[in-house]
Structure 1
Amino acid sequence: MMSKRNRKGLSVLSVVMILCGNLVGCSGMNEDSKDVSVSAVEERIKQAVSLEEMEKGDMNRLKKLYHIDEKEVQDFVLYTAVSNVKANELVVIKVKQADQVESVQEKIRERIEAQKVKLKDYRPKEFYLVERYVLKANQSYILFVVSEDADTIEAAFDEALS
C-alpha cells in the first residue's frame, strides 16, 4: 500500500508532467511554424471564387511580370487575365526566407505602378481595379490580387493560413 505522502507526491509529479507536456507540445505552435502548401491556399481561393476566366502562369511568367528570381520563391501560384487589356491578376508566393518578403513585395509594387501607367487613360475600369489591389504578407506568404473579388480572395487567403 502506498502511503498518503507517496500518493500526494505522485499526484504532484503527475500534474507537473502534464504541465510540462503541454508546454512542450504548445511550444511549436507559434505562427512561424505554420506550414501550409501554396496549392492548399489556391484550393481555398478556388472554393471562394471562380478563376476560370484567368490562365495559370509558370515561373517564366512570374519572372516576366514581377522580376522575381526563382531563388526567392519556395512555391507560388499565378493567375493572369487571358487578355492583356484586362487587369486581373492573382499571385500567392511563399518565399524561401522570411527576410525576402519585403523585397518581393517591392517588385510587386513596381508591377502595380506599371499597370497604373498602362491602364490609366486607356482602360478606366481596369485602372480602377488596379487601384483597389490587395498586397499583403502573412509570415512567408505573399498575396497580390487585382480583381472585383479581391476582398473575397483576401478572406480566403487569410482563412487558409489561419
Structure 2
Amino acid sequence: MLRLFAVVNRKRVILLLAITVVFAAVMSGCSGKQEGVRNDVTAGELGQRLKQAVKLDELKQRDKEALQRLYRLGDDEVEDFVLYTAASNVKADEVAVIQAKDAAQAERVKQNVSKRIDAQTAKFKDYRPEEYGLIQKHVLKRDGCFVLFAVSKDADRLEQVFDDALRRD
C-alpha cells in the first residue's frame, strides 16, 4: 500500500511540475528576455530606424483603421505598430512593423499578413507586372513579438535594419 501511495505522489509531483513549466512559459509571453534579443524596443522606434535607413517619403503613414482593414487585426492583438503604404493603389509598396501583445498573437499577425500578400499577389499579377515582382521579393518575418512586412525595392535593407535593431549591441 505504501508503495502505491509513493507512485501516485510521484505522478502528481511530475504533473504539477509540468503544469508549472507550461504556466510559466505562457505567462512570460514576449516579456521574457531571450539571449541576444532586445526587448526594450518598440514598433515606433523600429519604424524610425527603418525610415532613417531607407527613403519612405513616397509612402503614406497609416492608422489603426488601415491596419484593421488590411490585415484584419484589432487592439486585442496589437500592442504597437507602424504602417506605411503607397499613396496610390497602383503601387504595391508597403512597410509594416507590428508588435503583438504576445508570441501567439505574433504568429497570428504573421498569418494575417500572409493573407494580405496573397491578395496583393492576385491583384497585381496580371495588372502591374513590375509591382508583382516587388511583391514576390517581399520580406515577412517574425522575431519574438515583432512582425516585419516589407514590399519595397529596399526590402533586403529594411530586413537588415529590423534584425540589427532587435539584437543587443
TM-score interval, normalised by the smaller of the two chains: 0.7 to 0.9
The number of residue pairs the alignment matches comes to: 136
> CA distance change for structure 1 residues 33 and 87 in 2, over 3 Å: closer, same or farther?
closer
Greater C-alpha radius of gyration: 1
Tell me, in whole angstroms, the C-alpha distance in 2 between the residues paired with 1:96 and 1:146: 24
- Determine whether 1:67 maps to 2:72: yes
Identical pairs, percent: 46
Corresponding residue number in structure 2 for 1:13:
none
Normalised by the size of structure 2, how large is the TM-score?
0.76
Asked whether the 8 Å contact 1:88–1:147 carries over to 2, the reply is yes
Asked whether the 8 Å contact 1:31–1:139 carries over to 2, the reply is no
Corresponding residue number in structure 2 for 1:36:
41
Normalised by the size of structure 1, how large is the TM-score?
0.79
The one-letter code matched in structure 1 to 2:115 is: E
The one-letter code matched in structure 2 to 1:96 is: K
Corresponding residue number in structure 2 for 1:3:
none
> CA distance change for structure 1 residues 129 and 99 in 2, over 3 Å: closer, same or farther?
same
Asked whether the 8 Å contact 1:68–1:104 carries over to 2, the reply is yes
Alignment gaps of 5+ in structure 1: 1-27
Tell me, in whole angstroms, the C-alpha distance in 2 between the residues paired with 1:44 and 1:57: 17
Corresponding residue number in structure 2 for 1:103:
108
Backbone CA RMSD of aligned residues: 1.7
Alignment gaps of 5+ in structure 2: 1-32
- Determine whether 1:77 maps to 2:67: no
Tell me, in whole angstroms, the C-alpha distance in 1 between the residues paired with 2:152 and 2:144: 23
Q: What's the CA shift string for 1:61-104, capped at 9, x where partnerless?
A: 00011111221000000000010000000000100011112111
